[in-house]
Amino acid sequence: MVEARSAVAQAREWHGIQKAQERLPIAEARKQLIDLVKAHQTLVLVGETGSGKSTQLPQFLHRAGLAEGKSIAVTQPRRVAAIAVARRVAQEMGVQLGAEVGYAVRFDDRSSAATRIKYLTDGMLVREALIDPTLSRYKIVVLDEAHERTLPTEILFGLMKQIQAQRKGGMKLIIMSATLDAAKFAHFFDGAKVIYLQGRQFSVDTMYVPEPVDSYLDAVLRTVLQIHVDEPEGDILAFLTGQEEIETLQRLIPERLPQLEGAESLGKLLVVPIYAALQPEQQAKVFEPTPAGMRKVILATNIAETSITVPGVRYVVDAGFVKARSYNARLQSDSLQVVPISKAQARQRSGRAGREAAGKAFRLYTEAAFLGLQAASAPEIQRVSLASLVLQLKQLGVADMTAFPFMDAPPKAALLRALELLLALGALDADGALSKPLGAQLVRLPLEPAFGKLLLSGGAMSCSEEALSVVSMTSTDPVFLNTRNKQEAATEMRKQFLSPLGDHITLLNVLTAYMKVPSGFPKNERGRWCGERLLNARSMRKALEILEKAVIESKNDLLLGVQVPLKSCENDMDPLQRAILSGLFMHAAILLPDNTYKVIASGQIVSIHPSSVLSGRKPRCIVFDEILRTTRNYARNVTVMEPSWLPEVVPAFFRKMESSGSL
C-alpha cells in the first residue's frame, strides 16, 4: 500500500516537473536552438536568468543526438550551481545522479564513463584540458555564466578558440549568460552567431533609500520585516555578502518578528539561506515550494544573482555589496574584500523580483550611489593573482603568455609578479619552462601554487601527513565559529587545541582530535563534538573529506595525483614549520618596534589578526596565509618561524633579496 502511494506521489511529482519544464521560455525555442547548434560552430546565447538555459539546453542537445556519442560539458563558475543544476537535470530526466547526468567539482566527482551531460566548475574543465588538451571526450562545450569572467573561464575562452581550430568542425561551443556584451564575444569568436532568448520579465518597481544607511545588515533586517508587514504575499530575496551575515540574519529575523506590532496576525516567515559553502541537501531547501500561509525569506550571496533561480520571489532587498577577490600586484597579495556591486549586478538583482509577476526591489543605497557605481565589474584576470593561470597555461604549451588569445589582456605587472613567484617557488626553470618534477607536480595539484609547494615540501621534509592536514584545514571555510555573543566561550574552547607555534599547527591539532572521535556510532558524535567546542561541523567534515581523499589516493603512491609518500614527523613540528615557510615565504614578515610586522618580500606593514592564537604574542618572525584588509592590514593564519630559516629554506629568493639590499 505504502509503495503504491509513493509510486503515485512520484508520478505526480514527475508530472509537475514536466509541466514546469514546458512552461519555461526556452521550451518554445527548442527546435530553433537545435537547428542553430547544427548550423554553427559557436553560439552566444543571451537569455534572462531562469529562462531554462542551464537546465534545458543540454537536455535538448542530448536528446537530439547532437553529441554524437560523445559528451556535453557545461561549466559553471560556482560549485553550488554545478551541483544544484546537475541534481535538477538528473531528476528531470529520471536518472541516477552520476550516471547519464553527473557533475565534477574540486574534491567531489559524481560522474562516470556513462555520463553524457556533465556539469563542472570551469576550473575542473581546465584541469581536464591539462590531461586531454583537445577535450576529446566532448562534442559540445557550454560555457555558462560567461559574464562572470572568472579566471578559469577566461582560460577556456582562449583554449576553446585553439581547440576549435585543431578539431576542425569537431567541437561545438555555446557561450551563455543572462547579461553580457554579446558583440564582444561574437567578435572574439570570429563572428559567432548571437541569439537572444525572449524571457518573461514583469515590471519591477525600484526604490532607493533617501540617505545612506549606517549598517546595511540592520537595514536589510528592517526592510525584510517592513515588507512582511506592508506588502501582499510573495517571497523575499535579500542579497548579502557572505555566510556570516546570512547566519546573523537567520538568527535575528525570527527573534525580531514577534516584537513587531500586530505580530499575532502576521503570517509566519520561513528563513532559508543560500551560499556557496552550504551543503547540497540544505541548498535544495530554497527550491522547495513555500508552504501555504507562509512567506519565504531567502538570504543569499551574489550566487542568486544569475547562478541560481529561486521561484516565487516578488521582493528583492539589495544591500549593494559583494565579497570579491582582488589582487594588488605591487603588494603581491590577494585579498577578499567587501566592495560595492556594479550597475549590471544591481539590475540583475532587482530583476529577480519580476520573474513571475510584477515585483518590487528595495535598494539600500541612494540613487546617487547607484549612479556612481561602475557599469560592470572588471574581469577577474585584471584583479587576482595570476600564478595558477600562468602555471596552467605553461602546462597547456603556452610558452609566451602574451601570445595566448586572451579576450582582455591581463595586466603586465600582475603577469610579471606571477612569473617571479613561480620562479621563486622553483616551479619554472630559468628559461621560463615548467620545471621537472616540481612545476609539473604543482600543476596537477588542485591548490594555489604556494599551498601546493607547502604540501610537496611536506613530502620532502618527512611531514606530508601534517602538511596535508594543514592544507585540508585551510582549503575549507573557517572552522572556528565567530559568534559575537560567544566570543569568550570560543576563546576558552580554543585553548585545548592551542599551539604556541601558531594557527596552522593549532588547526592541525583540531583535525587530529576530530579524527579520534568515533564517526559511526553513536550517531553524529562528531557533529556533537564540534557543537560543544564551537567548531564549524561542516568545515570539519569537509577538511576530513579532502584529507581522506588524498590519503586513499596516496595508497597507490599518489597524493592528490602526485608522487608523495605519506610520512609523519610525529611531535617534532620543526619540519612542518619549514614546509609552511617554503610555500608561503612571500608572506614572511619581521617584527618592528611598534609590534607591527614588515612583509619581507613587499615591504608591506601588517598586524597579526585578533583571531590568531599568536595575537598579542609578538614572535620575532612569522609567515602567514593571506592579508585581510579591513581598517588595517591583518595577517591571517600565522605561524612562528626562525629568521635564520629564510636563506636555508628558500635560498634562491632570499639571496636575491639580500644582494639587492632589501633584507
What does residue 386 show for φ and ψ, rounded to 5 degrees?
-105, 10
Find the binding residues for ligand ADP in span 2-31 (CB under 6 A).
24
Q: How far is the CB of 195 from ligand ADP (least distance, A)?
A: 13
Q: What minimum distance in Å lies between the beta carbon of 346 and ligand ADP?
A: 18
55/536 with CB nearer ligand ADP: 55
CA-based nearest residue to 249, from 91, 241, 610: 241
CB-CB contact of 428 with 419 (8 Å): yes
Which residue, 116 or 383, has its beta carbon nearer to ligand ADP? Answer: 116
> Cell digits for 386?
595570476
3-state secondary structure of 90: helix
Confirm or reject binding of residue 223 to ligand ADP (CB under 6 A).
no
Helix (H) or strand (E) holding 237: strand 235-239
If you write DSSP's letter for every residue of 495-509 in order, what string do you get? GGG--TTBHHHHHHH
280 lies in the binding site for ligand ADP (CB under 6 A) = no
Residue 514 CA to residue 530 CA, distance in Å, equals 8
Q: CA separation (Å) from 328 to 25, 337, 597? A: 43, 12, 18
C-alpha cell at 510: 583540531
462-466 own/partner pairs: CB under 8 Å, 24+ apart: 462/567, 462/568, 462/569, 462/575, 463/567, 463/568, 463/569, 463/575, 463/576, 463/579, 464/559, 464/564, 464/565, 464/566, 464/567, 465/566, 465/567, 465/568, 465/569, 466/508, 466/568, 466/569, 466/573, 466/576
**Residue whose C-alpha cell reads 526592510 in the numeric block:** 223
What secondary structure, in 3-state letters, does 335-379 show? EEEEEECCHHHHHHHHHHHHCCCCEEEEECCCHHHHHCCCCCCCC
Could you say which residues in the range 603-662 bind ligand ADP, by CB under 6 A?
none
How near is the Cβ of 79 to ligand ADP at its closest, in Å? 14
53 binds ligand ADP (CB under 6 A): yes
All 3 cell numbers of residue 634?
A: 591583518
Q: Which stretch binds ligand ADP (CB under 6 A): 45-53, 118-126, 294-302, 548-556?
A: 45-53
- Applying CB under 6 A, what is the total number of residues that bind ligand ADP? 17
Query: Per rule CB under 6 A, is residue 82 in the interface with ligand ADP?
Result: no
**d(C-alpha 189, C-alpha 184), whole Å:** 9
SS3 string, 252-306, reads: HHHHHHHHCCCHHHCCEEEEEEECCCCCHHHHHHHHCCCCCCEEEEEEECHHHCC
User: Strand pairing of 333-340 and 117-121?
Assistant: unpaired
Q: If binding is defined by CB under 6 A, does position 88 make contact with ligand ADP?
A: yes
Give the bridge partners for 173, in sequence order: 42, 141
Cβ nearer to ligand ADP, comparing 79 with 453: 79
Q: Which is nearer to ligand ADP, 298 or 649 (CB)?
A: 298
Per CB under 6 A, 49 contacts ligand ADP? yes
Calpha distance 313→553 (Å, rounded): 44
Contact range with ligand ADP by CB under 6 A, out of 84-92, 103-111, 179-187, 654-662: 84-92
User: Is 79 among the residues that bind ligand ADP (CB under 6 A)?
Assistant: no
Which of the stretches 52-60, 247-255, 323-331, 538-546 binds ligand ADP when contact is defined by CB under 6 A? 52-60
Residue closer to ligand ADP, measured from CB, 235 or 245 = 235
Q: Could you tell me the CA-to-CA distances from 179 to 145, 155, 555, 562 in Å, in that order?
A: 8, 20, 46, 40
Minimum CB separation of residue 272 from ligand ADP in Å reads: 13
Of 267, 353, 271, 345, the closest CA to residue 309 belongs to 353
- Least distance to ligand ADP, CB of residue 82, Å: 11
Question: What span, in angstroms and rounded, lies between the C-alpha atoms of 475 and 451?
Answer: 9
Q: Is 52 in the site for ligand ADP (CB under 6 A)?
A: yes
Contact indicator for 48, 198 with CB cutoff of 8 Å:
no
Among 29, 37, 54, 303, binds ligand ADP (CB under 6 A): 54
- Determine which residue in the list 79, 87, 494, 504 makes contact with ligand ADP, applying CB under 6 A: 87
Q: Which of 37, 46, 82, 84 binds ligand ADP (CB under 6 A)?
A: 84
Nearest approach, Cβ of residue 160 and ligand ADP (Å): 19
| Residue 179 binds to ligand ADP (criterion: CB under 6 A) | no
Task: Report in angstroms how near the CB of residue 288 gets to ligand ADP at its nearest.
Answer: 8
**How far lies 443's CA from each of 152, 228, 394, 453, 505, in Å?**
14, 51, 9, 10, 26
Stretch that binds ligand ADP, among 81-89, 155-163, 488-496, 524-532 (CB under 6 A): 81-89
CB of 24 to ligand ADP, least distance (A): 6
By CB under 6 A, tell whether 77 contacts ligand ADP: no
Distant-in-sequence, close-in-space partners of 214: CB < 8 Å, separation ≥ 6: none
Residue 410 CB-half CA count within 13 A: 29
- Three-class DSSP category at 49: coil
Per-residue interface string for the shown chain with ligand ADP, residues 303-342, x marking contact by CB under 6 A: ------x-x-------------------------------
Q: How far is the CB of 309 from ligand ADP (least distance, A)?
A: 4
Task: Candidates 50-58, 109-117, 263-271, 611-619: pick the segment binding ligand ADP (CB under 6 A).
Answer: 50-58
Nearest residue (CB) to ligand ADP, 83 versus 641: 83
- Using the rule CB under 6 A, give the single segment among 53-61, 128-136, 226-234, 248-256 that binds ligand ADP: 53-61
Spatial distance between the Cα atoms of 646 and 52, rounded to a whole number of angstroms: 55
Residue number with CB closer to ligand ADP (52 or 359): 52
Of 351 and 452, the one with the shorter C-beta distance to ligand ADP is: 351
Q: Does 55 bind ligand ADP (CB under 6 A)?
A: yes
Q: Residues 33, 45, 51, 576: which binds ligand ADP (CB under 6 A)?
A: 51
Nearer to ligand ADP, 47 or 379 (CB): 47
> Would you give the DSSP letter of residue 146?
G
379 near ligand ADP, rule: CB under 6 A = no
Binding of residue 47 to ligand ADP (CB under 6 A): yes
Site string for ligand ADP, 91-120 (x = CB under 6 A): ------------------------------
How many alpha carbons lie under 13 Å from residue 333 in its C-beta half-sphere?
A: 27
Which residues of this protein are in contact with ligand ADP, per CB under 6 A? 24, 47, 49-56, 84-85, 87-88, 287, 309, 311
